[in-house]
Structure 1
Amino acid sequence: MGIVQRQGLRNTIISYAGLGLGFVNTVLVLPKVLEPKQIGLTSVLMALATMFAQVSAFGFGNMGVRFFPYFRKPESGHQGFLPFLLGVPLLGFILIAVLYLLGRPLVLHWYIDDATLLGRYYTWGLVLTLFVLLINLQDAYLKALYHTAFSSFTQEIVLRLLVTGGALLFAGGYLDFHGYVLWYVGALGGIALLLTVYTASIGELHLQPTAAVLRVRPLREMLGFGAFALLGNVSGVVISSIDSLMVGAKVDLDGAGIYGTAFFISTALVLPFRALYKIAFPLLAEYWKNNDLPRMADFYQRTTRLNTVLGCYLALGIALNLDFIFGQMKPAYAAGASAVLILLAGRLFDGITGLNGLIVVTSPRYRYDLIFNASLALATVLMNLLLIPRMGLTGAAVAAAVSLVTINIARTWFVWHSFGLQPFDKRVPVILLLAAVAGVVAWLVPFTHSLLVTMLLRSVVLTALYGGLLLATNAEPQVREIVKSLLRRGRSNA
C-alpha cells in the first residue's frame, strides 16, 4: 500500500472519529457546562478568526497544494517554497491585523448589547486568527508532501479533546471563564506548534528563503490562482460562519450560543453524505476523464436514492427525539428546537439533490462552482439581514435552509441543462412517502415517564417500520443487498 493510500485510510478513520467526537463535544458536553452566552462568545471569536485568516492567507493554502509539485526538490529544501508559502500570508496578516484593530469600535457597535464581554477578548481574537492561519498553511504544506494523517489527527481529535478538557476544568472550578477562553486560544496555538514540530521531525521544516522560489513558476500565475482560490474560500467561510456572527450581532451572544448548538445538532445529518462524497469525488473525476456520462447518470441517481434513505432516517431520528437531546443540556438551549427542525429540512434537501456540486466541480465547467458558492454566500447574508431582525435565531435557520434549497435547485438545473443529468427517478417519491408514514407513526408514540425510554421507543418504532417498509416495497434495492450481506456474514460467523 502506497503512502497516498495509507494516508487516505488513516484520514478516513480520523475524519469519522473526529466528526463523532465533535458532535458529542458540541452537543452533549459544552452545553452541559457552559452558558449560551459563553458558547456564543467563543463561536463569534472563532468565526471572526476563521474569516480573517482566510483573507490573510490570500488563497495560498490552495496555491501551495496546486503548485508544490513544481518546487519539489528535497535536496534543496524545495527551493525555498515553505518560506514563500508562509511569508506572503504573514504579510497579509499584518495588514489584516491593522484593519482588525482599527475596526474594533465598529465590531463592538454591532455587538452593542455584549460589547463589554466581547471587548474584553477582542484582541485575543487576533491571536486566534494567527493560530488558525498557521494551522491552515502548515496543513496545506503537509498535504503537498502527502503527510496528511497527523495534521488531521491533531485538528479532528487532539483539538476537540483539548477543548473538552478545558470545559471540564471549567466545570470542576479549576478554571474561571477567562481561563477557559485562554485555554481555548492556547489549544489552537498548541496545534500550530505540534504541526511545526512534526514537520521538523520528518525533515521538511525548510525555513531558509531563497530567490530561486520566484523563478520556478511565474509569480503572477501563483498570485492569480491564489486570488481565485481566495474567493472560493471566503465564500465557504461566509456560508458556514456568517449566520452565527449575525445572530450574535442582531440578537445577542446568548442567541449565538443557542443557534450554534442547534446548528451542530443538525450537522449529524450530513455525516453519511460526507462519507459518500469522499467515495464519489474520485469516481466522478474518472467518469469525466472517460466521458462516461451513462455510468455517471446511473451513479448520480443511485447515490441520490441512498442519500434520501439515510437522510430521511437521520432527520426523523433527530427531530423525533429533540426533547431527549435538549434534556441533556442547560434549559436555555431548548429555544433552538425550531432552528434545528428548519436546518434539518435544508440539509435534507441538500443531501437529496445528490451530487450536483461535485459533478460541477469535477466537470470541464468547474469554474461555475465559484459562481454558485459566491451566490450562496451572498444569498445567505441577504436572507440573514432580512430575517434575523424579524425572527431572531429562527430567522437565521430559515435563511440557511432557504439558501441551501435555492442554490441546490439552481445547481440541479445547471447539471441537467449542461450535461443532461438529473438525480431523481420514480423511487425517490416512494422513499419519501415511506419515511413520512414511519415518522408519523413514531411521533404518535406517547411520552412515557422517562425521556430516555421515550427516545428508545420512538427510535425502535421508526427503525423497524421504516426498514420494514423499505424491504417490503424494495423502494431502494441497495437496502435489501445490505441486509442480505449482513445475514450472510452472520451465518458464516455462526
Structure 2
Amino acid sequence: MGIVQRQGLRNTLISYVGLGIGFVSSTLILTRLLTPTQLGLTSVMVSLAAIAAQLAAFGFASTALRYFPYFRNPANGHSGFLPLLLGVPLLGFVAVAGLLWAGKGLVLKQYAADAGLLGPNYPAVILLTLAVLLLSLQDAYLKSLFHTAFSAFLQEILLRLYIVGAALLYWRGVLSFHGFVLAYVGGYALVAALLAAYLLAIGELHLRPTRAVLRVRPLRELLAFGGFTLLSNLSGTVMVTIDALMVGAKLSLAAAGIYAIAFNISTALTLPFRALYKTAFPLIAGYWKEGKMAEMAAFYTLTTRLNTVLGCYLGLGLALNLDFIYGLIHRPAYAAGTTAVLLLLVGRLVDGITGVNGIIVVTSPRYRFDLVFNAGLALAIVGLNALLIPRLGLAGAALSNGLALVGYNSLRTWFVWYAYGLQPFDRRIPAIGAVAAAAGVATWLLPVPPGLWGALLVRGGALTVFYGAGLLLTRAAPEVNALWAKGWARVTRWQN
C-alpha cells in the first residue's frame, strides 16, 4: 500500500472522528461553558481571520498544490519553494494586518452594541489571522508532499479538544475570558508550530531562499494563478463565514453565537454527502479523462438518488428531534435558533442532493465557470443577508443561506444539463420525496412519552420504520430493496 493510500485511509478516519468531536464539542459542550455572546465573539473573530488570511495568502495555498511538482527535488530543498510559498503571503499579511488595524474603528462601529467586548480582543484577530495563514500554507505544503494525516489530526481532533480544554479552564475560573480568547488564538498558533516541527522532523523544513526558485516557473505565472484561485477561495470562505459576521453586526454577538450553534447542528446533514464526494471526485475526473460520458451520467443519477435517500432521512431525523438536541444544551437561549436550523437544513438538503454537479463543473473543460458560480453564491448570500436579517433576524440569515443555495444549485444543475446534456433527475426522486414527507408527518403526529430520551427513541424508531417501509413498498430506491434482500438472505441462512 502506497503512501497516498495510507494517508487517505488515515484522513478518512480522522475526518469522521473529528466531525463527531466537533459536533459534540461545539454544540453540546461549549454551549454549556460559554454564553451566546462569548461564542458569538469567537465566531466573529474566526470569520474575520479566515477572510483576512485568504486575502493575505493570495491563493498561494492552491498554488502549492498546483505547481509543487515542478519544484520537487529533495536534494536541493525543492529549489527553495517553501520560502517562496511563505514569503509572498507573509508580505500580504503585513498589508492585511495594517488594513485591519487602520480599519479597527470602522469594524467596531459595525458592532457598536458589543464594541466593549470586541474592542479589547480586536488585536487577537490579527494574531489569529497570522496563525490561520501559517497553518493553511504549511497544510498545503504537506499535502504536496503527500503527508496529510498528521495535519488532519491536529486540525480535526487536537485543536477541537484544546479549545474545549481552554473553555473548561475559563469555566472553572482558572482563566479570565480575555485569557480564554488568547488561549483560543494560541490553539491555532500551536497547530502551526507543530506543523513546522513535523516538517523539521521529516526533513522538509527548507527555509533557505534560493534564486533557483525563480528559474523553475516564472513568478508572474505563479502570481497570476494565485490571483485566480484567490477569488475562488475567497468566495468559498465568504460562503461559510459571512452569516456570522452579518448577524453579529446587524443583531448582536449573542445572536451570532446562537446562529453559529444552529449552523453547526445543520452541518450534521452534510456527513454522508462529504463521504460520497471523496469517492466521486477522482471517479468523475477519470470519466472526463477517458471521455466516458455515459458512465458519468449513470453515476450522476445514482449519487443524486442516494444523496436524496440519505439526506431526507437525516434531515427529518434532525428536524424531528431538535427538542432533544437543544434540551441537551441546558441553556434555553440557544433554542432561539430552532427556526434557523430548519431553514438551513432545507438549503443543505438541496445542496447535498444536487452537489455532484459542482464536481462535474470543476473537473470539466469549463472549470472556470465554478468561480462564477461561487462568486455569485457569495454575493447572493451577502445581498440577501443585508435585506432579510434586519427584518427576520436569525431566520432571515438562515433563509438567505437557503435561498442562495437553492438558486445556486438550480443554476449549476441547469449549466451541466445545457453544456453537457447531463441531468440526474428521474421519476424516483419525487417518489422518494413523497415517501419522506409522509414518513415525517406520520412520525410527527405520533404521541411521545415525556422526557428527552423517550421522545428521541420513539421518533427515531418510528421515522426509520415508516421511511424504510415506504421506500421498500414503492421501490423508489432500488438500492434500498437490494440491501434489504441481501440482509434478509443473511438472516435466513443464519437461522438455517
Structure 2 residue 294 is matched with structure 1 residue 275: no
- Equivalent positions of 1:159-174 (< 5 A) are 159-174=159-174
Once the two structures are TM-superposed, the CA of residue 89 in structure 1 deviates from its matched residue by: 0.3
Unaligned runs of 5+ in 2: none
Q: Following the alignment from structure 1 to structure 2, what is the Cα–Cα distance between the partners of residues 357 and 437?
A: 30
TM-score by length of 1: 0.98
Q: Distance in 2 between matches of 1:78 and 1:354?
A: 37
Structure-1 separation of matches of 2:78 and 2:354: 43
466-475 or 327-336, which deviates more: 466-475
Paired letter, 2:216:
V
Question: What is the aligned partner in structure 2 of residue 217 from structure 1?
Answer: 217
Residue 481 of structure 1 deviates from its aligned partner by: 2.6
Aligned to 1:363: 364
Q: Cα distance, 1:164 vs. partner?
A: 1.4
For residue 32 of structure 1, report the CA deviation from its aligned partner. 1.5
Measured after TM superposition, the shift of residue 173 of structure 1 is 2.7
Instruction: Write the mapping of 1:135-154 to structure 2, written as runs, cut at 5 A.
Output: 135-154=135-154
Contact 1:270 1:347 in 2 (8 A): yes
**Partner amino acid for 2:419?**
S
Matches within 5 A, 1:327-346: 327-329=327-329, 330-346=331-347
Post-superposition shift, 1:490?
Answer: 6.1
Q: Which digits, 9 at most, give the CA deviation of each residue in 1:381-440, with x for residues without a partner?
A: 100111111111111101000000000000000000000001101101110011011100
Tell me the residue number matched to 1:200. 200
C-alpha distance in structure 2 between counterparts of 1:483 and 1:354, whole Å: 27
After superposition, residues 446-457 of structure 1 pair within 5 angstroms as 446-457=447-458
Letter of the aligned partner of 1:161 in structure 2? L
1:439 matched to 2:440? The reply is yes
Sort the Cα spacing of 1:331 and 1:67 in 2 relative to 1 into closer, same or farther, 3 A. same
CA distance in 2, matches of 1:263, 1:445: 28
Look up the match of 2:236: 236
Amino acid at match of 1:20: G
In the other structure, the counterpart of 1:19 is: 19
1:171 is displaced (CA, Å) by 2.5
Q: Once the two structures are superposed, what CA deviation does each residue of 1:76-98 show, in whole Å capped at 9, x if it has no partner?
A: 11111000000000000000010
Give a deviation string over 1:252-297, Cα, whole Å, max 9, x none: 0000000010001000001100111110001101111111111111
| Residues in 2 aligned to 1:30 and 1:447: alpha-carbon distance in whole angstroms | 29
Letter matched to residue 387 of structure 2? L
2:58 maps to what in 1? Answer: 58
Unaligned runs of 5+ in 1: none
Question: Could you tell me how far apart the structure 2 residues matched to 1:489 and 1:145 are?
Answer: 44
CA displacement, residues 412-470 of structure 1 (integer Å, 9 cap, x when unaligned): 00000000001101101110011011100110122422121111100000001111111
Q: Is the 8 A contact 1:300 1:354 kept in 2?
A: no
Paired letter, 2:227: A
Task: Describe the SS at the equivalent of 1:141.
Answer: helix
Q: C-alpha displacement at 1:128, in angstroms?
A: 0.4
Distance in 1 (alpha carbons) for counterparts of 2:80 and 2:144: 14
Q: Give the AA of the match of 1:227.
A: G
Shift of 1:479: 1.3
CA contact (8 A) 1:303 1:354 kept: no
Q: Within 1, Cα distance between the matches of 2:252 and 2:189?
A: 28
Distance 1:445 1:248 in 2: 38
Equivalent residue for 1:181? 181
**Structure 2 CA distance for aligned equivalents of residues 3 and 398 of structure 1:** 44
Counterpart in the other structure of 2:460: 459
DSSP 3-state at the match of 2:205 = coil
Letter in 1 for 2:172: G
Q: Tell me, what secondary structure is at the counterpart of 2:208?
A: coil
Cα distance, 1:493 vs. partner? 7.9
TM-score by length of 2: 0.98
- The equivalent of 2:404 in structure 1 is 403
Q: Is the 8 A contact 1:83 1:207 kept in 2?
A: yes
Residue 486 of structure 1: CA displacement?
4.2
- Of stretches 161-170 and 9-18 in structure 1, the one that deviates more from structure 2 is 161-170
Asked whether the equivalents of residues 311 and 351 of structure 1 are also in contact (C-alpha less than 8 Å), the reply is yes
**Cα pair distance change 1:206/1:456, threshold 3 Å:** same
The CA deviation at 1:3 is 0.7
What is the rounded CA distance, in whole Å, between the counterparts of 1:477 and 1:100 in structure 2? 55
Greater CA deviation, 178-187 or 132-141? 178-187
> 1:285 maps to which residue?
285
* CA gap 1:480/1:84 in 2 versus in 1, 3 angstroms: same
1:109-143 Cα offsets, whole Å, 9 max, x none, are 00000001000100001000000000000000000
**Same amino acid, percent of matched pairs:** 61
Matched residue SS, 1:108: helix
CA offsets 1:151-174 (integer angstroms, 9 cap, x no match): 111000111111111122223332
The 5 Å alignment of 1:349-428 reads 349-428=350-429
- 1:474 counterpart = 2:485: no
Q: Is the 8 A contact 1:354 1:423 kept in 2?
A: no
Aligned residue number for residue 300 of structure 2? 300
Q: Note closer, same or farther for the CA distance 1:168–1:493 as it changes in structure 2 (3 Å cut).
A: farther
Task: Decide which moves more: 159-168 or 252-261.
Answer: 159-168
Deviates more, 1:329-338 or 1:350-359: 350-359
Partners of 1:138 and 1:489 in 2: CA distance: 49
Cα contact 2:471–2:480 (8 A) shared by 1:
yes
Offset of 1:21 from its aligned partner? 1.1
Stretch of structure 1 that moved more, 299-308 or 477-486: 477-486
In 1: Cα distance, 2:485 partner to 2:83 partner? 55
Question: 1:485: how far off?
Answer: 4.1
Bigger shift: residues 195-204 or 176-185: 176-185
Change (3 A) 1:211 1:99: same
Residue 80 to residue 493, structure 1, CA distance change in 2 (3 Å): farther
Within-5 A mapping of 1:306-325: 306-325=306-325
Whether contact under 8 Å (1:347, 1:404) holds in the other structure is: yes
Equivalent residue number for residue 248 of structure 1: 248
Q: In the alignment, which residue of structure 1 is the partner of 2:157?
A: 157
Distance apart, 1:26 and its partner CA: 1.3
Equivalent residue, structure 2, for 1:429: 430
CA 1:485/1:138 → structure 2, altered by over 3 Å: closer, same or farther? farther
Per-residue deviation at 1:328?
A: 1.4
- Give CA deviations for 1:166-203 in whole Å, capped at 9, x if unaligned: 12222333223222211111111110111000000000
- Name the residue aligned to 2:97: 97
CA distance in 2, matches of 1:464, 1:179: 50
Letter in 2 for 1:374: A
C-alpha distance 493-27 of structure 1, shift in aligned 2 (>3 A): farther
**Matched residue type, 2:309:** V
Q: Deviations over 1:203-245 (max 9, x none)?
A: 0000000011011001111100000010001000111100100
Q: What amino acid is the match of 1:305?
A: R
Deviations 1:285-328 (A, max 9, x none): 11111111111111111111110110000110010011111111
